[in-house]
Amino acid sequence: MSTGSLRLAILISGRGSNMLAIARACAAGTIAARVVVVISDRGDAAGLTHARELGLETAIIAAAPRDPTTLERPLTGLIEDHGADALALAGFMRILPAPFVERHLGRMLNIHPSLLPAYRGLNTHRRVLEAHEAEHGASVHFVTPELDAGPIVLQSRVAVLAGDSEATLSARVQATEHIIYPRVLAWLAAGRLAWRDGSAWFDGRRLERPMVEDFRAARA
């Protein structure tokens, strides 16, 4: 894989399509980073197989359901063993212990399938359809102890189309996730994106509001 200087750990729980997009961007040199480990809390995550196929190192962490504190020790051990200096949550379905999050402030990003602060939490596509929203999207944000509430860096905006199902809408949003997440990580690796005083900074300026990439014209 790529030999970029940032050492990136990616955390997954499932399919791992964002992990793949990030790993490929690292391999292509688009992100000046190296994926040092892909960590899953589930041994049956399909993303683990994809990661191994790419030649990436993988690890499975065992933690008790609904008890974030049990993640602290195994996760910290893996991060230290692999010398990871940044973390990308990519469909990682566990709540992280607050002390772990505090220690990694500014070095941990997440992608959430909604236009945050709207639709935090689960089942975002279904809730957006039920609310008859005209727009939806995804948000890449720094991770802070409050769930889905850290400073947002970049959002993708997509149209909700007449006749959309949860499947068609989530596919449209996911296609944009694979563009915006690697882009934000490339900025982090290049030093263009930084964390200071509890805010996201881009090119030396505090981000007063998220950057937005508009995909509404792309009707796929």
* Interaction of residue 17 with ligand GRF, rule CB under 6 A: yes
Q: Tokens 């949550």 map to which residue?
A: 89
State yes or no: is 178 an active-site residue.
no
22-81 binders of ligand GRF (CB under 6 A): 47
14 touching ligand GRF, by CB under 6 A: yes
Distances in Å between the Cα of 56 and the Cα atoms of 27, 159, 178 are: 11, 35, 19
137 binds ligand GRF (CB under 6 A): no
**Distance from C-alpha of 184 to C-alpha of 140, rounded to nearest angstrom:** 7
Considering only residues 31, 36, 91, 154, which one is a binding residue for ligand GRF as defined by CB under 6 A?
91
Binding flag, residue 176, ligand GRF (CB under 6 A): no
Helices and strands, number each (H, E), in the chain: 6, 11
Side-chain half-sphere exposure of 34, counting CA atoms within 13 A: 12
Residue in 96, 133, 95 with CA at minimum distance from that of residue 115 = 133
**Minimum CB–partner distance for residue 21 and ligand GRF (Å):** 8
Catalytic residue positions?
112
Residues binding ligand GRF (CB under 6 A): 12, 14-19, 47, 90-91, 111-113, 138, 174, 177
